Chains A and B, each alone.
Chain A
Amino acid sequence: MLRFSKSKIIATMAVILIGLLLAVPSLMGREEREAFQRSLPSWVPSWLIPSRAVVLGLDLQGGSHVLLEVDIPDLLRTQSTTLRDDVRRVLREARVNPQGGIQLNPRGVQIRVPDAGDRDKILPRLRELSQPIGNAVLGQGGGRDLDVAVTPDGLITLTYTDAGINEKVRRAVDQSIEVIRRRIDVTGTTEPSIQRQGADRVLVQVPGLQDPQRLKELLGRTAKLEFRLLGQQGATDVDMLPMRDAGGQKSPVERRVIAEGADLVDAQPAFDSRTNEPIVNFRFNIRGAQRFGQATSENIGRPLAIVLDNEVISAPTIQSAITGGSGQISGRFTVQQAQDLAVLLRAGALPAKLTIVEERTVGPGLGQDSIEAGKKATYVAAVLVMIFMIVTYGLFGLFANVALLVHVGLIFGLMSVLEATLTLPGIAGIVLTIGTAVDSNVLIYERIREEAHAGRSIPSAIQAGFERAFATIVDSNSTMAIAAVILFFLGSGPVRGFAVVFILGILTTVITAVTLTRMMIALWYHWMRPKTLPF
């Protein structure tokens, strides 16, 4: 009959109580929460009191969401340039002179060596440039990153394989995440989240950031610093690079790199003691200091090109050998620019250019407004639905309302435990579940009424109502779950927040509408022994 054993009551109450307790921190503001935690006596173990609140999405707390993509052509260009240097070294060591120099291809390099003897000399060495992909220790993964092909007429092409490119992109994303983290850390922003997304993307989320311009400036630059010598106009081994402050005019810069950003151990913004212009002071590591010292002592009187991201930012003339391992970069910077450059140099260069493919920024004002609006909508919806339930089902409506409140509380509790993010569509989801959660109660109550009408006694009608409505409740909730689960897997950010709330809402309804309501009704029946249904 309509009975609810003591142990079952205790179990139900315990589950609900724990769930609601977990929701408490989310309902308090941050300050309230911290004050409350401080006010606890020291003998209360900290794990006993839930402290985790629901994480608010960027659309609610304000902040910036920037999705960056590794510029693969740029990455390949950098890789190919390195490959060209390696090939040049091989050629030099083997004393082989290719016809027409080394050509850069989009995915590698090519050289023309008509002499078969020369080819035989260099080919094994060129093949050594190719690296195995994947776990070399276990010999897994197979494949190599570079494909070396020879035509009978002596054209040797070194091309990165697809697997090789994928591997390089993967590594570039890993490196980028590290570099981005170091760059953002210096800006002092709180709790940035930097994650890989897909194969070639990095998602940077910075709560509370209002103007992502500086963030974008910090992320948008590769910060590849090179010290090279200015070359002769028309020489073969030079690149034509634009000069800063020269109106797009280009200068020949030797391809040989004396020292680069990776050789730096420190960089700090400072002011030039003579001109009072903002500059960046830097220090080389031992290798860099040696190479820089040697090159400067051999080239006194020649201009040294300081190249940042393929732009000559300044080209001072070498006055004397710089052997101390430190130096300065000038380039008519503003104070901010000098500071940023120092940060970028300290954090290291990105392996490739990163392109912003998506940016979403919400100001803190709008976020706060959204929270307020969401709260208001939630309260109004709850009040309207609860009134409607009471005028329709009387006391049973009241039971459903208690279940409804517990249901909303449990959603918050579950979200806190799962560290799910509450977004604005998530709030919409909560409001929507307020409307749909009572559906289960309605199904049960309508069934009870029918069963009573069909001549059953009160307890029997209640019993039958719960039992017969259950299959339909499962059906109707699983139909909603289908849509929510698909949304969860396809949506991102805010929309996924909606799906999470909706899925959790479906789970909690089953607990509250079925178990909790049933318990309340069973207890009511035992205390009151009613002769008629209250509706």
Chain B
Amino acid sequence: MRLIRIWPESAHFDFMRFRRFSFPLSAALSVLTVLLLLTHGLNFGIDFKGGTLMELQAKSGQADVAKIRQTAEGFGFGEVEVQEFGTAGGLSLRFPIQAGGEAAQSAVVQKVRDTFGNDYEFRRVETVGPRVSGELVQSGTIGIILSVIAVLFYLWFRFERELAIGAIVGTLHDIVLTVGFFVITRHEFNMTSIAAILTIVGYSLNETVVVFDRTRELMRRYKTMPVTELLNLSINTTMSRTVMTATTTALSLLALVLFGGRAIEGFAQVMLYGVVVCTYSAIFISSPMLIYIGLRSTETVKAPEGKVAPAE
């Protein structure tokens, strides 16, 4: 059997050259994200905004969206979003948070159940009051901040300052571009999205760390090699692993997007995008950053802390 070769062993591809494109591109995308975030904001789900989300399934298999919208708008619960989704006859309703505190939210559910209960099956009903949504916003924000801090600490312990800076720039880049994905696609941003972002932080770091582990190893071996060449060599030698892992991860996520069902489709899409972004940033952002930071400024190179298993 002839096996596939992902990346030729003797490749000497000049990745560093691409920083002329990747830096402006990423900068532009990041700025665009921030601008769009400020002007359009995120499409917050009920986790963060509060309100009521319902998924209905027509018992007849045929949902009358127009009629539902008309009826639901007549309830006086504010602007209602009605969308078809999933299999035939499926639709979702989203009501904004009701004024009048926590107790006022239940009235929405009751009204909708009373009105459509005969013709529709209620597959999912979620109501989040103002207090809980406020707390979720808080814990989501704390989560992202904490993860960045944890990453900083990890890098501080594990790597030289230059490498750590490169890695943290890469991680921030990936967070920003992931947020950009949410802003542009108008994907609902909820607690699962926070999970996706945190997982992407982990993956992003993972990608960078594998390359930088190699960079550090090569720095010790080739003490006089120019930085650009050293970085290119690091990427070339780890490239087949990078592509392999990105592919297997992407394949699983693809399975999740295609078959995982409506409820995790969104999560899987973001993650799939994240894998692409993380792979890109590890090669074209974090590594070339080191050229500017100046890799050889420190003479002493820390020994790797991970113990190597003794041979038998």
Which segment, of B23-31, B35-43, B247-255, B290-298, faces chain A?
B247-255
Q: In the complex, are the beta carbons of B123 and A362 less than 8 A apart?
A: yes
Leading 6 A-B pairs by shortest Cβ distance: A373-B261, A471-B306, A435-B252, A483-B202, A435-B249, A381-B255
Q: With A67-B132, A391-B3, A475-B210 known to touch, is A442 a contact of B245 (CB < 8 Å)?
A: yes
Q: Which of B123-139 contact A (CB under 8 A)?
A: 123-129, 131-132, 139
Give bound CA distance, A491 to B304, whole Å.
Answer: 33
Which residues on the B side are within 8 Å of A370 (C-beta)?
261, 263
Return A75 CB to nearest CB of chain B, in Å: 15
A366-B123 contact in complex given A394-B1, A425-B195, A487-B195, C-beta closer than 8 Å:
yes
In the complex, chain A residues whose CB is within 8 Å of the CB of B127: 356, 358-360
| Beta-carbon contact of B121 and A374 below 8 Å | no
Closest chain B residue to A439, Cβ basis: B245
Number of interface residues of B (CB under 8 A): 82
Query: Which residues of chain A are near B307, meaning CB under 8 Å?
Result: 471
Chain B residues with CB under 8 A of A483: 147, 198-199, 201-202
Assuming the contacts A388-B251, A435-B252, A479-B209, asked whether A356 and B201 have C-beta atoms less than 8 A apart, the reply is no
Min CB distance, B182 to chain A, in Å?
A: 16
Number of interface residues of A (CB under 8 A): 86
Q: Is the pair B253, A432 in contact by a Cβ cutoff of 8 Å?
A: yes
Majority SS of interface residues in chain B? helix
**Nearest A residue to B154 by beta-carbon distance?**
A482
Q: Are B259 and A468 in contact (CB under 8 A)?
A: no
B255 in complex: contacting residue of A380, A442, A467, A487, CB < 8 Å: A380
Interface stretch (choices A184-192, A259-267, A411-419, A443-451): A443-451
Binds A, one of B14-22, B68-76, B102-110: B102-110
* B interface residue numbers (CB < 8 A to A): 1, 3-4, 6, 9, 55, 57, 101-103, 105-106, 109-110, 113, 121-129, 131-132, 139-140, 142-143, 146-147, 150-151, 154, 158, 191-192, 194-195, 198-199, 201-203, 205-206, 209-210, 213, 237-238, 240-241, 244-245, 247-256, 258-261, 263-264, 267-268, 271, 304, 306-309, 311-312
| Cα distance A376–B6 in the bound complex, in angstroms | 28
Q: List 9 A-B residue pairs with CB atoms under 8 Å apart, sorted by A's residue number.
A: A213-B110, A359-B109, A384-B255, A431-B252, A432-B253, A475-B306, A480-B199, A482-B201, A490-B194
A392 touches B3 (CB 8 A): yes
CB distance from A156 to the nearest CB of B (A): 33
Asked if B194 and A361 make an inter-chain contact with CB atoms under 8 angstroms apart, the answer reads: no
Q: What is the CA–CA distance of A326 and B311 in the complex, to the nearest angstrom?
A: 85
- A461 in the interface, Cβ–Cβ < 8 Å? no
A21-29, A295-303, A314-322, A494-502 - interface stretch: A494-502
Given contacts A211-B113, A392-B244, contact A432 B126 (CB under 8 A): no
* A384 engages B249 (CB within 8 Å): no
Instruction: Give bound CA distance, A490 to B195, whole Å.
Output: 10
- A-chain residues with CB within 8 Å of residue B250 when the two chains form the complex: 435
Name A342-362 residues within 8 Å CB distance of B.
Answer: 355-362
Task: Please give the distance in Å from B112's CB to the nearest CB on chain A.
Answer: 12
Q: Kindly identify which residue among B121, B154, B238 contacts A365, using a CB–CB cutoff of 8 Å.
A: B121
When distances are taken between beta carbons in the complex, the residues of chain A under 8 Å from B3 are 391-394, 535
Contact of A480 among B128, B202, B244, B258 (CB under 8 A): B202
What A residues does B255 contact at CB under 8 A?
A: 377-378, 380-381, 384, 431
Q: A392 touching B206 by the CB < 8 A rule?
A: no
Tell yes or no: A389 within 8 A of B by CB: yes
Q: Are B206 and A384 in contact (CB under 8 A)?
A: no
Inter-chain contact A442/B241, CB cutoff 8 Å: yes
Check A478/B6 contact, CB under 8 A, given A377-B260, A483-B199. Answer: no
Chain B residues in 8 Å Cβ range of A378: 255
List A1-46 residues whose CB lies under 8 Å from chain B.
1, 3, 5
- Which A residues are in CB contact (< 8 Å) with B57? 365
Counting chain A CB atoms within 10 Å of each CB, which of B261, B271, B306 scores highest? B261
CB contact under 8 A between A392 and B309, given known A381-B251, A432-B271: no
